[in-house]
């Protein structure tokens, strides 16, 4: 995906970029390619692939939520900043928190944020279940991209959502995962309100955004430690 294709596809999902935002994405891309040689941040390194599979793919979350509002957003397992850092560049009114347990990726994220002089964005180098208690029931939106099975990530994500907030996991094909997560959704007091399926442009790979609404507060016992979640997923 070249720059013109990127802008044209964004226009189709009602996103337009300023020159500054486009410049910031280019700087982000350059830093990603530079630091990837030292830290192995991503297997996707070609410019055209970064614009398609990282930048455009991250911004397809607009299909599930109006990010032009000043929302508090948590991105779990953000890696090199996808989708959270891309969302912040394009929708500056967002208050974004990026969480990842990989210290090299945290160093990279802080470098990009400093270089672009972004504000109202927090980077936390922890496992999500180790976040401070004040983050419980705090975020309007929680998202993840290609992180773990839905049953697993639900228990990690839902406790940090406000009641009536939305968890938006970004996945590929999820039919079986969704079927297996019915009981987990019930235990965590949430429900699927929409399943948004589409093809990524150019390569036509499958994408799914699941829109999960939190209906009631989460019992204090969740999230359990990650090893317990893996050994005995909620079902």
Residue 175: what pLDDT? 80
Are 96 and 85 spatial neighbours (Cβ–Cβ below 8 Å)? Answer: yes
Per-residue pLDDT of 155-172, as tens digits, reads 999 999 999 999 999 998
Mean pLDDT of 228-234: 88
Task: List domains and CATH numbers for the chain.
Answer: 3-231 (3.40.50.150)
* Mean pLDDT lowest among 155-159, 167-171, 220-224, 230-234: 230-234
Residue 78: what pLDDT? 96
Per-residue pLDDT of 86-109, as tens digits, reads 999 999 999 999 999 999 999 999
> Which pLDDT band, with edges at 50, 70 and 90, does 72 fall under?
very high
If you search the block for the tokens 């935002």, which residue do you land on? 21
Both tokens of residue 90?
Answer: 């394009």
How far apart, in whole angstroms, are the C-alpha atoms of residue 192 and residue 199?
21
How far apart, in whole angstroms, are the C-alpha atoms of residue 122 and residue 98?
6
Residue 185: what pLDDT? 95
Between the alpha carbon of residue 4 and those of residues 1, 16, 51, 88, 201, the distances in Å are 8, 12, 11, 21, 13
Residue 146: what pLDDT? 74
How far apart, in whole angstroms, are the C-alpha atoms of residue 144 and residue 102?
15
CA atoms within 13 A on the CB side of 39: 18
């Amino acid at each position: 995906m070249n720059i013109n294709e990127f802008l044209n596809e964004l226009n189709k999902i009602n996103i337009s970029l300023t020159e500054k935002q486009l410049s910031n994405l280019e700087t982000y891309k350059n830093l990603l390619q530079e630091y990837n040689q030292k830290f192995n941040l991503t297997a996707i390194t070609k410019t055209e692939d970064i614009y398609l599979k990282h930048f455009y793919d991250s911004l397809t979350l607009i299909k599930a939520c109006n990010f032009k509002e000043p929302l508090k957003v948590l991105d779990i397992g953000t890696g090199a900043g996808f989708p959270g850092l891309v969302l912040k560049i394009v929708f500056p009114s967002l208050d974004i928190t990026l969480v990842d347990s990989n210290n090299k990726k945290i160093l990279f994220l802080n470098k990009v944020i400093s270089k672009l002089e972004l504000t109202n964005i927090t980077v936390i180098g922890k496992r999500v279940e180790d976040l401070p208690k004040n983050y419980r029931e705090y975020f309007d939106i929680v998202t993840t991209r290609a992180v773990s099975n839905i049953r697993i990530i639900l228990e990690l994500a839902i406790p940090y959502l406000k009641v009536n907030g939305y968890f938006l996991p970004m996945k590929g094909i999820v039919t079986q995962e969704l079927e297996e997560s019915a009981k987990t959704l019930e235990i965590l007091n949430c429900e699927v309100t929409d399943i948004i399926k589409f093809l990524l442009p150019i390569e036509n790979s499958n994408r799914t955004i699941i829109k999960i609404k939190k209906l009631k507060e989460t019992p204090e016992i969740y999230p359990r430690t990650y090893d317990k979640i893996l050994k005995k997923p909620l079902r």
